[in-house]
Amino acid sequence: MDNFTFCSPTLFVFGRDQENNAGKYVKQFGGTKVLLHYGGSSAEKSGLLGRVENSLKREGISWVKLGGVQPNPKSPLIYEGIELCKKEGVDFILAVGGGSVIDSAKAIGLGVVYEGDIWELYSKQAAPAASLPVGTVLTIAAAGSEGSNGSVVSFQREDGVYKRDCGGEFMRPKFSILNPALTQTLPPYQTACGIVDIMCHVHERYFTNTEHVEITDQLCEGVLRTLIKEGPKVMKDPNDYEARANIMWAGTMAHNDICGVGREQDWASHNLEHELSGLYNCAHGAGLAVIMPAWMDYVMKHDIKRFARYAVNVWGCEKEENPANTARAGIAALRKFWKSLGMPLNFQQLGAREEDIPLLLNYLQIEGRTEGHFVKLGTEDCRAIYQLAADYPG
């Protein structure tokens, strides 16, 4: 196990009706003037936004609203939010939505404090150091941003779209309100994308070269088994509160780094996927369903034993005499599960195009560096993984 530090100071407020306490928690964390940040009209129509506004009103907290966050949150709205916060003297950002809204809120929080252009932070030219405090009312179980220290944004630059991440411990939300009932109205496709995203947050941590990490291995496997058990329940009955609750908390556990401390993590699949959702504006989870198994196929030989353990402990595969067969059975079980959730498994099903692979590699800016840690992937490795994802029969 590697040395590590871990601190997850976010106050999680979990359960039915908790959004009515949003104002109370904004006040607890010192907010007096709030940017209420959200996505489309569903938060308004469902009455959620109204309940949150009422909770702010009850605490005597004023607010300005900025809706319109799109999936794969876009930089123009973020720059607009930064200006709005500065003009209005906002001291707290409350994100009401899924990972895109929260990531957008985190980016605005950075931008209000940072003197330069936040592109410098996301393109790693400068290190982030401070942010306005952010709170969340989560409506989608997926990204884990409600407890994580990171944010991913699609920057619309003159020469193209760059989906980039930025992280820092101070970026963890002050509080996150998780009411599973709010996720019940999510359509099946988005629900499935969320489950895939959560599983991949675990995969990125599980496939490691760090040895002797039994405790985090066990936690990873437990989160994955939860999703395999609870996922089909919500696909069958979107109103299954209890299954929604288990998936929602699994989503937080998958990405607050409880499952990742003390071990080298990979993250190549996420980065390869970001170019897909950046280019095609597809759902991140759907892109991952295409990329992650291709990555697994490609890197499996690097540590057959780990993939065999994954197959047995997560998917209940039989241990075969040849561990490579066990390993392959695990990846097959993963694909079968994601297919059963209605996920795409290849480029065509995703709406991606094989002929764009050079473009994807270009956006990835992989030349002269590598992606991932489990196996360090160069340009040709990344090309091969995109190709495997394109070719997969589905």
Interface with a second copy (CB under 8 A)? 1-16, 18, 180, 211-216, 218-219, 221-223, 225-226, 229-230, 242-243, 245-246, 249-250, 253, 258, 261-262
For a second copy, the closer of residues 143 and 223 by Cβ is 223
Angle CA 173–371–213, to nearest 5:
65
- List b or e across 95-126, with b for residues whose CB sees 16 or more CB atoms inside 10 angstroms: bbbbbbbbbbbbbbbbbbebeebbbebbeeeb
Q: Which CB, 213 or 292, lies closer to a second copy?
A: 213
Place of tokens 């707290």: 92
CB-nearer residue toward a second copy: 139 or 176: 176
**CB distance 299 to 277 below 8 Å:** no
Structure tokens at 254: 């998958």
Phi/psi at 126 (nearest 5 deg)?
Answer: -140, 155
- The least CB distance from residue 372 to a second copy, in Å, is 24
In three-state secondary structure terms, 209 is coil
Q: Judged by CB, which is closer to a second copy: 56, or 219?
A: 219
Q: How far is the CB of 323 from a second copy (least distance, A)?
A: 19
For residue 162, what are the β-bridge partners?
A: 155
C-beta closer to a second copy: residue 126 or 228: 228
Distances from the Cα of 373 to the Cαs of 149, 188, 286, 304, 313, in angstroms?
20, 33, 23, 16, 23
Amino acid (1-letter code) at residue 116:
G
CA angle 176, 278, 159 (to 5 degrees): 125
The Cα–Cα gap between 260 and 254 comes to 9
User: What residue type is 170 in one-letter code?
Assistant: F
Cβ proximity to a second copy, 186 vs 258, nearer residue: 258
How far apart are CB 247 and a second copy at their closest, in Å?
8
Which amino acid belongs to residue 298? Y
Cα angle value 89/90/94 (rounded, 5°): 175
Q: Which is nearer to a second copy, 215 or 324 (CB)?
A: 215
Nearest distance from C-beta of residue 55 to a second copy, angstroms: 16
Q: Which is nearer to a second copy, 14 or 189 (CB)?
A: 14
Q: Which two tokens stand for residue 317?
A: 């595969």
Quote the least distance from Cβ 181 to a second copy, whole Å. 11
Instruction: CB nearer to a second copy: give 180 or 372.
Output: 180
Q: Please report how close the Cβ of residue 85 comes to a second copy at its closest, in angstroms.
A: 26
Which is closer to a second copy, CB of 6 or CB of 116? 6
Minimum CB separation of residue 363 from a second copy in Å reads: 36
- Cβ at position 297, least distance to a second copy in Å: 27
β-strands 134-138, 175-178 pairing: parallel
The contacts of residue 325 (CB under 8 Å, 6+ apart) are: none
Distance CA 121, CA 119 (A): 5
| CB-CB contact of 307 with 331 (8 Å) | yes
Least distance from a second copy to the Cβ atom of residue 23, Å: 16
- The single-letter DSSP state of residue 375 is S
Structure tokens belonging to residue 68: 């319109």
Contact 100, 59 (CB under 8 A): no
- The minimum distance between CB 48 and a second copy, in angstroms, equals 17
Query: Whose Cβ is closer to a second copy: residue 27's or residue 225's?
Result: 225
Q: Which amino acid is at 22?
A: A
Nearest approach in angstroms of CB 393 to a second copy is: 33
